[in-house]
């Protein structure tokens, strides 16, 4: 049973930033090498899902972890409020069409989980619909892995309540970060406890593909853990360069 309140959002005691940054650099280089093989072979794909509260570092993690992947090998999709066209379809319609093609890495900055998080927190859908969507999400993710050789990695960037306040305030106090400020982030913060309750259910009911809970109070540790998981997932695949067929 996963309970986010029992998991630290900080690095372990004694962890040194310098040591982890050196390891991180090697990991990002390795991700670039493995993606090159992934694209050449065009047999597998990787879907990376980032969930987390506002300012938990979804953008920054994406930028840093995949810095060595060329633009033609990766796609990034952010999920905000559905458009009128998207509302007219089932909730997975807008998601399924941007899953990765074989040979590609696709990053979701937020994802289909918003449809059982923010909508649930604000009581825009009832519990019966939540249950139906959870079943649909589990089936959807299992389909991607079983039918399309898509490896699904799910990350929750675990930011503490106090550290979120610091980061949100920094967006106000630092001129070059003003563009990130959104009054709505402060409003959503008022629902923190309810979000954590809903996340706990997500971790435990949408777990046929397990979640990675990533301590996110320190960027250098957060980035290292995500990069490490990505390398592990790619190295577990039988990636190889395709050879010319002999005539």
pTM for this prediction: 0.95
According to the model, what pLDDT value does residue 207 have? 92
Q: What CATH architecture does domain 15-235 belong to?
A: 3-Layer(aba) Sandwich (3.40)
Pairing of strands 105-109, 150-158: unpaired
Q: How far is CA 208 from the centre of its chain?
A: 16
* 142-196 per-position pLDDT tens digit: 999 998 999 999 999 999 999 999 999 999 999 999 999 999 999 999 999 999 9
Pairing of strands 105-109, 45-52: parallel
- Neighbouring residues of 171: CB distance < 8 A, sequence distance ≥ 6: 55, 177, 178, 180, 181
Share of the chain above pLDDT 70, in %: 100
Answer for the pair 187, 181: CB distance below 8 angstroms, yes or no. no
Q: Where exactly are the structural domains of the chain? A: 15-235
* 2-29 per-position pLDDT tens digit: 999 999 999 999 999 999 999 999 999 9
Instruction: Tell me what the pLDDT averaged over the chain comes to.
Output: 96
* 86-142 per-position pLDDT tens digit: 999 999 999 999 999 999 999 999 999 999 999 999 999 999 999 999 999 999 999
pLDDT-based confidence at residue 1 (cuts at 50, 70, 90): confident
């Amino acid at each position: 049973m996963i309970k986010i309140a029992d998991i630290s959002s900080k690095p372990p005691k004694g962890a040194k930033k310098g040591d982890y940054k050196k390891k991180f650099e090697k990991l990002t280089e390795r991700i670039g090498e493995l993606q090159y093989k992934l694209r050449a072979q065009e047999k597998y794909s990787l879907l990376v899902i980032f969930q987390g509260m506002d300012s938990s570092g979804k953008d920054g993690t994406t930028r840093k972890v995949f810095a060595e992947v060329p633009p033609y090998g990766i796609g990034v999709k952010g999920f905000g409020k559905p458009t009128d066209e998207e509302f007219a379809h089932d909730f997975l319609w807008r998601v399924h069409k941007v899953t990765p093609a074989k040979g590609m890495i696709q990053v979701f900055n937020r994802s289909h989980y918003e449809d059982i998080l923010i909508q649930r927190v604000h009581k825009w859908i009832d519990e019966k619909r939540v249950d139906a969507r959870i079943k649909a999400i589990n089936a959807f993710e299992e389909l991607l892995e079983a039918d399309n050789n898509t490896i699904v990695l799910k990350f929750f960037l675990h930011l503490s309540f106090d550290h979120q306040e610091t980061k949100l305030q920094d967006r106000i106090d630092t001129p070059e970060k003003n563009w990130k400020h959104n009054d709505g982030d402060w409003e959503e913060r008022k629902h923190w406890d309810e979000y954590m309750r809903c996340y706990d259910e997500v971790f435990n009911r949408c777990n046929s593909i397990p979640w990675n809970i990533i301590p996110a109070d320190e960027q250098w540790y957060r980035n290292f853990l995500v990069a490490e998981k990505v390398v592990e997932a790619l190295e577990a695949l039988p990636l190889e360069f395709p050879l010319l067929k002999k005539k």
